[in-house]
Amino acid sequence: MPASSPSFADVFGRPPEAQAQAPGRVNLLGEHTDYQGGFVLPSAIPQHTVVALARNGGDTHHLYSLNYGERLDVPAGETGTGFAPYVTGCCALTGVKDALDVWISSDVPSGGLSSSAALEIATLRALRTLYDLPLTDVDLALIGQRVEHEFVGVRSGIMDQMASSLADTRHMLFLDTRTLERQKLPLPAGGEVVVLDSGVPRRLAGSGYNTRRSEVEEAARRLGVSELRDVPDVAALASLPDLLLRRARHVVSENARVLLALHAPAPLFGELMNASHASLRSDYEVTVPRVDELVALLQAHPDVYGARMTGAGFGGAVVALARIGTAGQVARDVLAQYGPEGQQVVPPPYPESESAKSSGLTRTSGAEGRGN
Ligand code: GLA
């Protein structure tokens, strides 16, 4: 960010009353399983979103995004458009009626790395601080998910908000999305995470996502289970028509891969990532050609154990597991082959001190560990 970027005080003429931040996430394994009660293995990425806010005493929210260089004015109590619903939804669901001045800055790339969840969790943390709300970190995740459903219109699972609220960059968060039981596990022994942005904007991601969700709900209904989590084996799917069989086979096989991966060393973990990508490409059909190419380049690199798309798909980011100590070089090698639209995300290509600009308040609240 340039040093001249306007701070909260530059935009609103006084310091903020509260500020918080929350990270994006990369999902290492367990894709499109979290709305069928399945298992996921996300980790936080170093990039994060910062939200600073203060009551303005009026009746209109002023929402300033440093990234867009744009201010949206939304009457308090209304939802608004663009990035506004992520913030106004958080206000509505926490019962905040005041009109707010809000300043947002983020270095989480959009597309597969949960920039939306990072904005929701950072906003909710700032509101929790300002109003001293008795909410745990899990409560924040559940509210963030309701913002997606009720204000944004994407029927997302719970993975992204749980990861942004509870994960860190040094572990993977093994989450049972049915019970929300969770455990922090070390990253696969001998491996190092690489995340690249394909530069392919996600088109129709919301509608494609909701369609997939309806398809697997229909598969579960036909099989007589409440969620595909309860299907023990792909052999049990034989009665389904072809399309639903392939969709369900992805979910059931992906859950099995996560359980195999929990304590796997990097070479086995990498194989499971490769199998996950093949399943997302052929059975779930949420990849696009350029993402498949980027994954293939990573998989062909001699220092890479495995690679796959990450997040909802339809464009966006990819993740790989590289031999320890090689991640930066792998990212540079592969991007040189892929082309200029690709971008290195992890390891960050810049010093962490230059990540999302702070609003001007010195202390920023992150995870506060309120008993969860
Ligand atoms: C999006 C959703 C998540 C999850 C992933 C796919 O990121 O927000 O809930 O379903 O897609 O695994």
| 225 CA from centroid of ligand 1 (Å) | 21
Q: Report how far ligand 1's centroid is from the alpha carbon of 318 (Å).
A: 14
Helix (H) or strand (E) holding 355: none
**CA 270, 257, 179: angle at the middle one, nearest 5?**
130
List all residues whose CB is within 6 A of at least one atom of ligand 1.
Answer: 27, 31-32, 34-35, 156-157, 159-160, 311-312
Of the candidates 34, 137, 160, 197, the residue annotated as catalytic is 160
Q: By alpha-carbon position, which residue is closest to atom 8 of ligand 1?
A: 156
Tokens of 255: 């859950």
Active site residue 160: yes
Q: How far apart are alpha carbons 61 and 25 in whole angstroms?
A: 28
* Ligand 1, atom 2, residue with closest C-alpha: 156
43 HSE (CA, 13 A, CB side)? 20
Instruction: Tell me, in angstroms, the distance from the centre of ligand 1 to residue 152's CA.
Output: 14
Query: Ligand 1, from 35, 40, 116, 156: best to mutate by most atoms within 8 Å of Cβ?
Result: 156
What is the 159 CA–ligand 1 centroid distance (Å)? 6
Whole-number Å distance, alpha carbon 205 to ligand 1 midpoint, is 10
Q: Give one DSSP letter per residue of 148-184, joined into a string.
A: IIIII-----SHHHHHHHH--TTEEEEEETTT--EEE
Q: In the prediction, which pLDDT does 196 show?
A: 98
**Ligand 1 centroid, distance to 112 Cα (angstroms):** 8
pTM: 0.94
For the CA of 30, the closest atom of ligand 1 is 12
Q: Quick one: pLDDT at residue 366?
A: 54
User: To test the ligand 1 pocket, which listed residue (33, 34, 152) has its Cβ within 8 A of the most ligand atoms?
Assistant: 34
> Mutate which of 114, 160, 251 to test ligand 1's pocket (most atoms within 8 Å of Cβ)?
160
Distance of alpha carbon 221 from the chain centroid: 28
Q: Separation of 209 CA from ligand 1 center, angstroms?
A: 8
Residue nearest to atom 11 of ligand 1 (CA): 312
Q: What pLDDT sits at residue 207?
A: 79
Neighbours of 36 (CB within 10 A): 26
**Residue position matching structure tokens 């093994």:** 174
Mean pLDDT by 10 residues, the chain (372 residues): 78 98 98 98 98 98 96 98 97 98 96 95 99 98 98 94 98 98 97 97 77 97 98 96 98 98 98 99 97 98 98 96 98 98 94 63 46 36
Nearest CA to ligand 1 atom 9: 157
CA gap 248, 254 in Å, rounded = 10
Q: Pick the atom of ligand 1 nearest to 34's CA.
A: 10
Closest CA to 44 of 177, 222, 166, 194: 166
Q: How far apart are CA 322 and CA 315, in angstroms?
A: 22
| Host H or E run for residue 59 | none
Q: Indicate which atom in ligand 1 lies nearest the CA of residue 33.
A: 12
Atom number, ligand 1, closest to the C-alpha of residue 116: 8
